[in-house]
Amino acid sequence: MAGRRPRQTATMSDVARLAGVSVSTVSHVLNKTRAVAPGTARLVHDAVAACGYVPEKAQQPDGLGIIGLAMSAISNPYFADVVHGLDRRASREGYSLLLAETHDDPEGELRAVSELLRRKVSAIVLAPSGDTGRTLDYARRAGVPVTVLDRFVRHETDQISVENVESTARLVDHLAETGHTRIAMVSGRPGLATTDERIQGYRLGLERHGIAAPEEYLVSGRSQAGPAQRAIAELMGLSRPPTAVVVGNNQMTIGAMRGLRDAGLRVPDDLALVAFDDFEWSDLFQPRLTAIAQPTSTIGEQAFELALSRIADPDLAPRRVLVQPAFRHRESCGCAPAD
């Protein structure tokens, strides 16, 4: 019957043997009935993924109307907006959502997906970490379809993401066209596809305008406010600091603005600031923030539609959807917007 999970052959004993622990330890890790040392728990989760073991609870017939979400929604406001779009679309179809936090970490991601499988979800929407191969293989062995969200991966699965390269290049274009030649970037967490693509766009924009930026103009903010704040301090401490900065996501924009405040610098009088990721309240800033705006609700809704169609027809060829964001021209770039 189409859509039914494949017959499960691995057992808890197989997991225990592969991990080099007792069956009871495997049970405690999977059922969270007793604290287990982190290193031992990691061995168990690795063994679970390697042999494709799915707990008995998850081997029952597919859950009715439950979509699992594995993402860092607690720490990332972008994903919170995506979840809103997913939930709105799911509600219209009579589905409910079950969220598992990954903390943007491969181990956390594997644990989150394992927990969702235990809850008998019909499909999973995953915002992948930098190393998601084990997680996708595990879900495939369990017969549960996965839709990858936000970051493209090199796996045959349904995927949806915003366009990052040309969009970031457009921010650099705009700064260059207003006369800036010392343009820096605060980039995201290393290893993420979005980080790599936005760095690529930054370099593409510089190349288009014949700008040769020094390597120290590219600083990682690790997709978080604190490291981004320190990145700004590093940039402003250079002997020849930039006159404009592109920030790679909304969390880092907050940190960048704090860093500029700490340095006693004003935007755009002392430094032009543009960002990838818009805020709902970006136009309340003084000056208002020039940014690339992702259609977060639309991305969430389309991710749900990919998952729903995959449930209905497991034999569909993998799909890859690229969503175009919008350029929001405001005042933080140092020029008056056209509107």
Is residue 219's pLDDT more than 50?
yes
**Structural tokens at position 37:** 């040392």
CB 104 within 8 A of CB 129: yes
Please classify residue 166 by burial: count the beta carbons closer than 10 Å to its beta carbon, then call 0-12 exposed, 13-18 middle and 19+ buried.
middle
**Structural tokens at position 171:** 């921010």
Is residue 88's pLDDT more than 50?
yes
Q: Following DSSP, what letter does each residue of 142-208 receive, concatenated?
A: HT--EEEESS--SSSSEEEEE--HHHHHHHHHHHHHTT---EEEEE--TT-HHHHHHHHHHHHHHHH
Q: pLDDT, tens digit, for every residue of 113-136? A: 998 998 889 999 999 988 899 999
Is residue 223's pLDDT more than 80?
yes
CB 67 within 8 A of CB 86: yes
Q: What's the pLDDT score for residue 39?
A: 85
Q: What's the pLDDT score for residue 3?
A: 42
CB 257 within 8 A of CB 273: yes
CB 193 within 8 A of CB 152: yes
d(CA 252, CA 184): 14
Structural domains of the chain in order of their starting residue, each with its CATH number: 165-293 (3.40.50.2300)
Q: What's the pLDDT score for residue 190?
A: 92
What pLDDT band is residue 338 in, cutting at 50, 70 and 90? low
Q: Could you give phi then psi for residue 100, rounded to 5 degrees?
A: -125, 125
Q: What's the pLDDT score for residue 81?
A: 83
Q: Could you give phi then psi for residue 36, rounded to 5 degrees?
A: -130, 140
d(CA 70, CA 149): 10
Q: What's the pLDDT score for residue 55?
A: 65
What pLDDT band is residue 9 in, cutting at 50, 70 and 90? low
Q: What's the pLDDT score for residue 332?
A: 94
CB 10 within 8 A of CB 138: no
Tell me the residue length of the chain: 339
**Structural tokens at position 172:** 């650099």
What pLDDT band is residue 336 in, cutting at 50, 70 and 90? confident
**Structural tokens at position 287:** 């000056």
**Residue 217 per-residue DSSP state:** G
Q: pLDDT, tens digit, for every residue of 42-87? A: 888 888 877 777 765 444 444 458 999 999 876 677 788 888 889 8
d(CA 302, CA 309): 11
Q: What's the pLDDT score for residue 188?
A: 96
Q: pLDDT, tens digit, for every residue of 266-313? A: 999 999 999 999 877 666 677 899 999 999 989 999 999 999 999 989
Q: pLDDT, tens digit, for every residue of 134-193? A: 999 999 989 999 999 999 999 999 999 999 999 999 999 999 999 999 999 999 999 889
Q: Cβ atoms within 10 A of the Cβ of 172, count?
A: 26
